[in-house]
A and B are shown apart, each in its own frame.
Chain A
Amino acid sequence: MLIVMTIVFVLLRSGPLDPAHYILGDYATAETLKNLREQMKLDRPIYVQYLYFLERLFQGDLGCSFINKQPVLSQLISVLPYTIELVIAGAILGILMGVPPGIIAALRPNSIFDHLIRLLTLVGISVPIFVSGIFLISIFSLKLDLLPIIGDGEAGNLKSRVLMLILPAFSCGIWMLASIARLTRASLLEVLKKDYIVTARSMGLQERIVILKHALKNSLLPLITSLGIYINILLGSAVLTEIVFTRPGIGRLIVEGIISGDFQMVQILIMLYAGTVVIVNLLVDLTYSLVDPRIVYK
């Protein structure tokens, strides 16, 4: 993590962006620019800046945003719940609505259902977030007037918050939904050819029990393996979702930080992304042994 942080730090600071220039605008004189840079300690050599940053970090101080002078930590905490609820809602949606079509398609391979599901899931994988988001808005909000368009819901009002979450979660989770359906189909098809399924069937077990208990359980392993990748992609899609639906969130914060050259903010947020992905991958590794008892960690 420390090495990643160093690389990100050096890359960001060596770029051509200048937060002082952004704050003061295009018509700033050279002198005011210089003063502001001195004030922000941007004129020091890069290793001094880095040591300074590290020292503050180990004291538990994430620093202040260069642009609006607010502490990064408080901004982070105020938007974090929105991104977390979006990603979790997207993931739940993807799993709950992705697995059943996958099972249906795998049970009747090459039937009309199978072809339909494959075609729909391919569309689901292909459509970029903003496209699906905009279509969802125009259908459900503008034409049917069922759901609110943008924003984050009234504070403290759970119902409006959930209503606000539906469309973003859908457009965020649609990719995951489609790709989980495809993955379930492929891995269930594979498992259904195995000998133990034939055995289970020849024992006279009900087809429902064979599928749900024996086949599905075994076909879920690749799904869990790729959960880490899914979370990573969901985090990426959450960025665009937040922008299209104008929700507050981490993605919005980082994009605004990138555009305005707010190194401090971008730095912390990128570390947050990398940290999340590492933790998710660790959790995924640990759950393998729960799902598949053959895997033992020494």
Chain B
Amino acid sequence: MKLGPRYFKNNISLIIGILMFIGIVGASVFAPYFALYDPLEVKISQRLQPMSADHPLGTDFWGRDIQSRILFGGRSSLTIGLASIGVSMILGVILGVVAGYYSENKFANLIVWITDITMSFPTLILGAMVGMMFGPGIFNTIIAIAVAFWPRFVRLARASALSVKEEVFIVAAKSLGMSDLRIFGIHLIPNIISPVIVMAVIWASDAITIEVALSFLGLGVPPPTASWGTVLQDNLRYFRMAPMAVIWPCVAIAWAVQSLNLIGDRFRDILDPKMR
């Protein structure tokens, strides 16, 4: 089923989700305009300040402004989360379609086998393991999270491709002498892409969570760069002295994750009328 503008009518939670998402992405993209301070600027004299007019959300142990750090942290957290989902979606769809279309092939079996193995680890552990191999850094974290997520896409794309490939129009295209590549591009992928995109939206929220977790553990974005995970980690130690400094990044994370889930959840309902 196609996703169209008519679904936006009477669908308040979808609209709320999209507005929330635009809000948080906008706040991160235009972080330099909203932030009052440099997120890396250390002012020991003003450390662990409560919320005030000068520092709307207070300051952390090093006197860095928390509002600025959350805004700039959104840049790295959202970029990493969304980019890694994009990478793993492209990789997973290609491999999944190949594995589903040539289902009797040895190579296809190998893909399925590797997918099954990778799926048996908790995503966070997998991300942490790959993150450990590549070391910290924004680009490496994207790769680590993409590695942790691609098997899900392979499984999804393969299952859809397996059912679509038996359809009459694929057989017709094949008998017309269309090359496999063109069949993939014109018929197969467009027909399986909507569930993939819906799940990508939902999994993007997972990816953001994983990014925060990795940075929180010190395996993702290296400090002092701001990311929601590093902001959390910095402030969790001083939780008793300044609890709000921990609560605010949590709010930002929950906001981003919730917005993506609202969007994804509604899209899934639209695609799967049984769930309504």
Contacts and interface: CB of A to CB of B under 8 A. Distances in A.
Partners in one complex: yes
Contacts of A135: 247, 250
A159 B267 CA distance: 46
A270 B135 CA distance: 19
Given A128-B253, A131-B254, A235 B122 contact: yes
Given A12-B133, A16-B133, A17-B132, A128 B121 contact: no
Nearest to A186: B275
A134 B233 CA distance: 12
Contacts of A264: none
Contact of B219 (A122, A128, A259): A259
A122 B20 CA distance: 15
A283 interface: no
Interface string B121-164: 11111001101111100000000000000000000000000000
A110 to B, nearest CB: 9
A277 interface: yes
A233 B205 contact: no
Q: Majority SS of interface residues in chain A?
A: helix
Interface stretch (B48-56, B86-94, B170-178, B256-264): B256-264
A273 B121 contact: yes
B43 to A, nearest CB: 25
B21 interface: no
Contacts of A4: 117, 120
A53 interface: no
Given A4-B117, A128-B209, A122 B261 contact: yes
Contacts of A286: none
Given A127-B254, A131-B250, A122 B120 contact: no
Contact of B232 (A11, A130, A266): A130
The 8 closest A-B pairs by CB, nearest first: A236-B122, A15-B133, A131-B250, A128-B209, A126-B261, A277-B120, A126-B258, A126-B257
Given A126-B254, A127-B254, A277-B120, 10 more contacts: A122-B261, A123-B258, A130-B250, A135-B250, A244-B236, A259-B132, A261-B132, A270-B129, A274-B117, A274-B121
Contact residues on B (Cβ < 8 Å of other chain), bracket? 35 or more
B66 interface: no
Interface in A112-157: 119, 122-123, 125-128, 130-131, 134-135, 137-138, 142
A15 B250 CA distance: 33
Nearest to B114: A7
A9 to B, nearest CB: 12
18 contacts: A16-B134, A17-B135, A122-B261, A122-B262, A128-B253, A130-B212, A130-B216, A131-B253, A138-B247, A142-B240, A186-B274, A190-B274, A235-B122, A254-B128, A258-B129, A258-B132, A266-B129, A273-B120
A243 B132 contact: no
Contacts of A184: none
Contact of B217 (A138, A259, A277): A259
A232 B122 contact: yes
A73 interface: no
B234 interface: no
A134 B128 contact: no
A233 B122 CA distance: 6
A4 B120 CA distance: 10
A138 B252 CA distance: 17
Interface string A232-265: 1101100110011000000000110011010000
B108 to A, nearest CB: 18
A261 B250 CA distance: 29
A272 B128 CA distance: 16
A142 B217 CA distance: 24
A259 B254 contact: no
B114 to A, nearest CB: 9
B26 interface: no
Given A128-B213, A134-B247, A15 B132 contact: yes
A128 B257 CA distance: 8
Nearest to A185: B275
A270 B125 contact: yes
A278 interface: yes
A250 to B, nearest CB: 10
B246 interface: yes
B23 interface: no
A188 to B, nearest CB: 12
A156 to B, nearest CB: 28
Contacts of A243: 216-217
Nearest to B246: A134
Contacts of B212: 128, 130
Contacts of B262: 122
B63 interface: no
Nearest to B261: A126
Contacts of B232: 130
A4 B118 CA distance: 9
B243 interface: yes
A11 B131 CA distance: 12
A155 B131 CA distance: 35
Given A15-B132, A134-B246, A127 B216 contact: no
A296 to B, nearest CB: 24
B223 interface: no
Nearest to A256: B217
